[in-house]
Amino acid sequence: MFAHDGCEHIVYRKGKGPAVIIMHEVPGVSAEVIRFARKVANGGFTVYMPHVFGVIGVLTTETDRMKELAKLCIGRQFHALAEHRSNPIVDWLRALGRHAMDELGGPGVGAVGMCVTGNFALTMTLDPWIVAPVMAHPSCPLPITPAKVAAIHATRDGYKCAPAHPGRRLEGIGAAF
């Protein structure tokens, strides 16, 4: 269990090497996501895989994904439609990144977000310990308007404070920034 600011979730951990946080997609920690996490761990990384919603360990269907997505849209932790503001789960994930860095040290922490969690990896780059973000099909805020397509899950002030890493381009991410 990992807790931060009143939010607590199970975090599965496997492997040895630099830390990588793998955030599952809808409908949860599916068999497909577990298979991917094992490949990353077997590739020489310590995987932290939080379970933040939905199922664990089953093959999923389109119906499963749609049911879980509907729950997320109204959930207090996700703010799936919110533009330019953070949400409790992203704040929790950022704290998990800090924890992984403190625990393992090294060059930094990787973050892989998939689908509904894809944009979370981008927001995690606000912290200097996130050095390798991967955004796979980022879909939050849900891209139902042009403004939401260009938005991210961070406040404007928070994003202005993002650390500048050598080689990292912060400008041009999100049309509103």
Report the pLDDT value the prediction gives residue 150, as an integer from 0 to 100: 62
> How many angstroms separate the Cα of 6 from the Cα of each of 9, 44, 99, 123?
10, 32, 16, 20
Report the pLDDT value the prediction gives residue 51, as an integer from 0 to 100: 92
> How many angstroms separate the Cα of 72 from the Cα of each of 78, 91, 131?
6, 16, 28
Q: What's this model's pTM, rounded to 2 decimal places?
A: 0.73
**What's the CA gap between 15 and 82, in Å, rounded?**
35
Report the pLDDT value the prediction gives residue 54, as an integer from 0 to 100: 78
Report the pLDDT value the prediction gives residue 63, as an integer from 0 to 100: 76
Going along the chain from its start, the domains and CATH numbers come out as 2-160 (3.40.50.1820)
DSSP 101-156: HHHH-SS-EEEEEEGGGHHHHHHHTTSTTEEEEEEES---S--SSHHHHH--SS-H
Instruction: Report mean pLDDT in 10-residue bins for the chain, 177 residues.
Output: 93 97 86 92 96 80 69 54 65 95 94 84 88 74 62 60 48 35
Report the pLDDT value the prediction gives residue 89, as an integer from 0 to 100: 84
Report the pLDDT value the prediction gives residue 131, as an integer from 0 to 100: 92
Report the pLDDT value the prediction gives residue 172, as an integer from 0 to 100: 38
| Residues 83/56, Cβ–Cβ less than 8 Å | no
Nearest-10 Cα torsion for 161, 77, 95, 84: -10
Report the pLDDT value the prediction gives residue 166, as an integer from 0 to 100: 46
**Can you tell me whether residue 176 is helix, strand or coil?**
coil
